[in-house]
């Protein structure tokens, strides 16, 4: 049956079999799902009004797959960690950044908005900057 899905509250798991599974975004989702191979590819959205909404003080890294970050509205910088230096990639509404697997990164808000992501939770790591 076809129906609408609010991707800010229910993410979609893209399974290797081609099925799409709805995944409810619960308070413990981020903590619990990073070690679960079930969510090898997720699609979701979230609104941001500040850099704190983007967890800009936290870096993350996806070792199993590239990540797509599409800016629906607003503007962000995708900050890539390259050794001891950082590289800022500006991304505005209608554009996307593709973060290669294994690259530590974080997001900083330039203008409030909404983004859509496609990433792998399998083996995902995070750390404070």
What is the span of the domain harbouring residue 100?
A: 10-128
91 close to 71: Cβ distance less than 8 angstroms: yes
Residue 82 included in any domain: yes
Asked, for residue 124, whether it belongs to a domain, the answer is yes
3-state secondary structure of 121: coil
Q: Does some domain include residue 1? A: no
**Which range has the worst mean pLDDT, 21-25, 84-88, 124-128?**
21-25
Does 4 map to a domain? no
Q: What is the pLDDT of residues 14-69, one digit of tens each?
A: 888 888 888 888 777 766 655 455 567 889 999 999 999 998 999 999 998 999 99
How much is the pLDDT for 34?
Answer: 52
5 domain-assigned? no
CATH at 99: 2.60.120.10
| Average of per-residue pLDDT values in the chain | 89
The 10 Å Cβ neighbour count of residue 67 is 20
What predicted TM-score, i.e. pTM, was given to this entire model? 0.86
Strand 67-82, strand 96-99: pairing: antiparallel
The structural domain count of the chain equals 1
Give the closest residue to 117 by CA, choosing from 87, 90, 97, 93.
Answer: 97
């Amino acid at each position: 049956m076809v129906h609408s899905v609010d991707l800010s509250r229910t993410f979609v798991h893209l399974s290797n079999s081609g099925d799409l599974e709805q995944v409810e975004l619960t308070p413990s989702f981020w903590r619990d799902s990073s070690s679960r191979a079930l969510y090898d590819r997720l699609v979701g959205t979230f609104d941001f009004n500040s850099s704190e909404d983007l967890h800009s003080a936290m870096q993350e890294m996806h070792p199993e797959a590239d990540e797509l970050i599409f800016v629906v509205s607003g503007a962000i910088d995708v900050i890539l960690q390259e050794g001891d230096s950082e590289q800022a990639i500006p991304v505005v509404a209608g554009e996307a950044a593709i973060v290669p697997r294994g690259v530590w990164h974080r997001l900083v808000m330039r203008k409030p908005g909404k983004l859509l992501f496609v990433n792998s939770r399998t083996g995902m790591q995070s750390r404070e900057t």
